[in-house]
Amino acid sequence: MQEAVGRFVPDGAFVCMGTALEGFIPFAAGCVVRIQAAWVGNVSAGLGHNCRRAVGHGVPHPIAVEDQSNLTIAAALQAGAMGAPDIPTRSLLDTGLPDSNPTFKQPPDPFSGDPVVLIPALRPDGAIVHVQRSDAEGHAHCWGTLGATRTVEGARAWLGHWAFGVADWKGFLSTLGPEAREGVRVKTPRLSEPLDYGA
């Protein structure tokens, strides 16, 4: 398991605004030791059962929770992208978030002396993007949610069949079966329809 942790999530920290199915495998496989997130769930599919089991019952092992919000994750990632040590905000003042997350510091603003909250930078080592199809350049199609997480047995069975039960890409394709592969094979390449968000 430790080998899986080091390979999948280098320091065991899982960072996200909110996580749905992209968190399914890391939580179920025991690859997360700490989560920094605003929320965890499966959106249309319901609760994030794998994370809830780890946090509440230590299955497959306990994980630490660092409270965040959508704002703080976005600001922390922005600080990391800019090479800044942190991002200041007043939006967190008079909320409980600085009390539940000790990484948020509250020094006085050096210009006005007013209180401010500093959100420390986050610099993740990698990203997980859950899609059903992509190409070598990173273009991707996402056709909705896949995976069931309600029970420990169901999660383990899914992992055993689709993740740990295959040695490589050829093994995955073999497990998928020829009929399923033929059903999703691109017969005529077509680009997605253009969208006009200003209309």
DSSP codes, 89-146: ESTTTTSSHHHH-TTSB-PBPTTT--B-EEEE----S------SEE-TTS-EE--S--
b/e map of 92-113 (b: 16 or more CB within 10 Å)? beeeebbeebebbeeeeeeeee
Q: Which domain holds residue 153?
A: 2-68+126-184
Within a domain: residue 43?
yes
Within a domain: residue 137?
yes
pLDDT for res 6: 42
State phi, psi for 104 to the nearest 5 degrees. -85, 120
Within a domain: residue 76?
no
Q: Which of 38-52, 55-69, 139-153, 160-174 has the highest mean pLDDT?
A: 55-69
Tens of pLDDT, residue by residue over 8-65, are 445 678 888 877 666 777 888 888 899 998 888 766 666 788 888 899 999 999 999 9
Within a domain: residue 175?
yes
Within a domain: residue 25?
yes
Tens of pLDDT, residue by residue over 79-135, are 999 999 999 999 999 999 999 999 999 999 999 999 999 999 999 888 777 777 788
- For the chain, the domain total comes to 1
The better pLDDT of the pair 38, 141 is held by 38
